[in-house]
Amino acid sequence: MSTSCQSTLIALATTAVALIAGCVGPRYVKPEVGTPSAFKESSPAAYVGADAGAWQPALPQDAALKGKWWEVFGEPELDALEEQLNIDNQNIAQFFQNFMAARELVNIARASYFPTLTTTPSASRSHSSGAFGSGTVVSSGTTSSGSAGTNLNVFSMPFGVSWQPDLFGRIRNTVREYRYAAQVSAADLENERLTEQASLAEFYFQLRGQDALQDIYYKTIEALKKSLELTRALVETGIDSPEAVAQAEVTLANTEATAVGVATNRAIYEHAIAMLIGKPAAEFSMPVKVLTTPVPTVPVDIPSKLLQRRPDIAAAERIMAEANALIGVETAAYFPTLNLTASGGWQASAISNLFTAPARFWSLGASASETLFDGGLRRATLRQYTAQFNADIAAYRQTVLTAFEQVEDYIASVRILSQQIERQKTAVAAAQRFLDLATSRYQTGIDPYLNVITAETTLLSDQLTEVTLRVNEMTAAVQLVQALGGGWDTSQLPSADEVTTRKVADRLAKP
């Protein structure tokens, strides 16, 4: 057969194999999900009757969320903590190493594209039995002629090659499966990073809220001490009775006891922040600072953009692609496999003759295998993977629905909390007037001290409620940013072809 004919046959065989391989396994198509045109809670109708100045989301074109989304709160101390978290948080470090392990699975699967080369060099020396006389001597599997009772040296340098061509896409789909799995791991890493960042911001504002509560208690305790002094003075002048002094002492003691509990809560949040930034609690402390941060106007885009903003949605979508590739792997099990083997090398009785032409040996071989009957194993396995793919579709759609729900929830929470705060400010102002009036009437002997205690308790309760609402408003704003995906989008997810590159690893390690 001529060289041109051989080349033509090889080309035709290669084309046929490519066509067959391309037909194995279903083509992945991203499923459609229904998305509303706008978030209900961000529409103007949701703000009808709201207080003037109540929180409203910013238009996307006014202020889009960036990578360092926490900067929207305007807290330099929080900014510094978030930067440290990105470097030293151990949960993020764990997810990064999970990604590094997942990308190596791609390299492991890709190694099957190539042949395997082995060698087992050996050297042996043997002495044949002298009871046989002269003739053929067999030693260590090597036949030679010589006298019995002689020594025999055998030097061998063999090589073996084996290769299984990917005729029906089994290896190709396996590589795809692990590439998609690495993308899932990368999206999980970004989701964990966002979760840790949001937790830090929440703990930060919770801690500042505790500082604000502590400040209120401090001022209230000082006021109660002055009221106690006034009560004692009025008792000495005969205007009031010792019963009023006892009431003032009880009120002061109860308030001081409650204030101690605030310090406990503050310590817990401080310890939680230390853990998030990778420090022992004993080596970290934060100075006292009253919560004064106003809630930012978080930009809320159209719902369809949310599908590109949330890393958990990206992970759910890549899980579907991974499951689809696994179907292709199992489909290839219906087709035969071809194994090509070759071996050769040198073998001689003297090392000086080892690499000479007469010492060469070789062999070539090919074998094919096909399962003729497996009791329905392949069919059942393929159905299992197909069902898992369909389950992943449902999980993806549920993840999207959950994302829509969370955004609606937190938009409503921030908006309604801002309205509550406006009304609570009015209540605090009224409670302060009530206390001033009750104190004045008590000083002139018109009303008993019990009215002052009632007014003081009312003012303290209203002030604490206002701080609690403000903390809830700030944490709801953080949760809204988290629900919107922070400053991430799918353009930052490494493609299937680049998940194993050093550039991607460096970018994910230091965002």
What's residue 48's pLDDT? 62
Higher pLDDT, 1 or 259: 259
Amino acid found at 356: T
Indicate the average pLDDT of the chain.
88
- Convert 279-317 to b/e letters by CB count within 10 Å (16 or more is b): eeeeeeebeeeebebebbbbbbbebeebbebbbbbbbbb
Q: Is 120 strand, coil or helix?
A: coil
* Nearest-angstrom CA–CA distance, 81 and 71: 11
Q: Which residue has the tokens 């609402």?
A: 469
What's residue 52's pLDDT? 57
Average pLDDT over residues 349-365: 87
Q: Is 375 strand, coil or helix?
A: coil
Residues 6+ apart with CB under 8 A from 231: 240, 244, 245, 247, 248, 449
Cβ-contact 31, 394 below 8 angstroms: no
Cβ-contact 247, 450 below 8 angstroms: yes
Q: At residue 463, does pLDDT exceed 80?
A: yes
Cβ-contact 63, 479 below 8 angstroms: no
Q: Look up the pTM and report it.
A: 0.86
> pLDDT tens, 76-88?
999 999 999 999 9
User: DSSP string covering 370-428, please?
Assistant: --S--TTHHHHHHHHHHHHHHHHHHHHHHHHHHHHHHHHHHHHHHHHHHHHHHHHHHHH
Structural domains for the chain = 23-114+169-334+377-509 (1.20.1600.10), 120-165+336-369 (2.20.200.10)
> pLDDT tens, 211-237?
999 999 999 999 999 888 888 988 888
What's residue 180's pLDDT? 97
Say which range, 3-12, 273-282, 458-467, has the weakest mean pLDDT: 3-12
> pLDDT tens, 163-207?
999 989 899 999 999 999 999 999 999 999 999 999 999 999 999
Q: At residue 41, does pLDDT exceed 90?
A: no
* Nearest-angstrom CA–CA distance, 375 and 207: 64
What's residue 13's pLDDT? 47
Say which range, 61-65, 70-74, 94-98, 122-126, has the weakest mean pLDDT: 61-65
- What count of Cα atoms within 13 Å lies in the side-chain half-sphere of residue 377? 7
